[in-house]
Amino acid sequence: MAAKRDYYEILGVTKDADAAAIKSAYKKQAIKFHPDKNPGDKGAEEKFKEAAEAYGVLSDQTKKAQYDRFGHAGMNGGGGFGGSGGGGAQGFSNFEDIFSSFGDIFGGGGGGGRQQRRSGPPRGSDLQIQLTLTLKEIATGVTKKIQLKRHGKCKTCDGAGGTGKQTCATCAGQGQVRRVQNSFFGQVVNVTTCPDCNGQGQQIKTPCKDCHGQGRVQEEVMIPIEIPAGVEEGQYLTMRGEGHRGPNGGGAGDLIVVLHEAKDAHFERHGLDLHSEAVIPFTTAALGGTIRVPTLDGEVELKIPAGTPSEKLMRLRGKGLPELHGGVEGHLYVKVRVHVPEKLGKREEELLKELQALTDEAAKKGSDKGTGKSKMFFCL
């Protein structure tokens, strides 16, 4: 299987191109390779779909950020982690809605597949929520339950909208309305979905009293969201079919869950690694010892070697965060800060003066031997 082409290369734009430039580049590609302009040309049709897929990702800020970071690997569909759409039929289906905003400059005489999608009931809109996680939840993975308000299928009419149907007077049963406009290309026939029947060509004779003919009502549901271990700030999950339901039996949109990290009192995250600080007495720094430090799964002992200077960075292997969908684990780095007391007791002061005298004597002996150098001792 051939490698997928870079989306920026497909549209002929650079990574710093703004939304207007991306839209303009895509429109040129869509016009050039439109199936109606290239009947029977399979190569043009593939390029048409390819441009649609690229635009579907680069025109969406969330998907674009994910693609810039992870490339095509971040565009996994099927409700998976990291990105939505961007591939195959999903990208092409989304493209139809994108292209309709330009108007069908070829008079609406497209292929049967596109015509069929336009005349069907519209898909419901996507929902987006923000979900904040603690570092511990990120380390282990977690299932969160959220309460969501959305449009769901009307139970009274089972989504039908009512009983009996009649031909829509606005579009005469075509499901579309056409308007002729003058443009740079000449006369343009702009074909849009009929606003009165939502593209179905028919209207309900006796609308349902609960959904008023829409086939959907406002509902409140509790949805479990499984978050895998190792996620990062700004990544997102796509839950297929958990968004708003479309009117008149249309399919449901998706739920986009954008992830955020809560600020932690003990740790700072640097990729898979965590950083924290520990304050130790100057005696422990000089003589060595052990201290207890917090990790994401409880306190552990950290050995302090004798003569440890302040600001020394010490590593606890495997006490960081796991890699998403991988076996790699980060480390915990503890920066040691030596505490020097501001006030001393009488006995403490006496002992430190004795220590100072010993270090002075040792330094003098080193100098008397003519080395010109004195040994360095731990002192305040």
Q: What is residue 20's predicted lDDT score, i.e. its pLDDT?
A: 87
Residue type (1 letter), 196: D
Of 118, 102, 111, 99, which is closest to residue 42 (Cα–Cα)?
A: 111
Mean pLDDT by runs of 10 across the 380 residues of the chain is 79 90 88 78 86 89 82 58 35 36 35 42 88 95 94 91 87 84 66 80 88 92 94 90 89 92 95 96 92 95 95 96 89 94 84 82 70 44
Q: Is the dihedral of CA 339, 342, 345, 350 positive or negative?
A: positive
What is the maximal distance between C-alpha atoms in the chain?
112
- Find out whether 114 and 276 touch, Cβ atoms under 8 Å: no
Residue type (1 letter), 37: K
Q: What is residue 76's predicted lDDT score, i.e. its pLDDT?
A: 56
Q: What is residue 362's predicted lDDT score, i.e. its pLDDT?
A: 77
Residue type (1 letter), 86: G
Specify the residue for token string 């590593």: 315
Q: What is residue 94's predicted lDDT score, i.e. its pLDDT?
A: 37
Domains and CATH numbers, the chain: 1-102 (1.10.287.110), 268-340 (2.60.260.20)
- Find out whether 216 and 253 touch, Cβ atoms under 8 Å: no
- Find out whether 233 and 138 touch, Cβ atoms under 8 Å: no
- Find out whether 98 and 226 touch, Cβ atoms under 8 Å: no
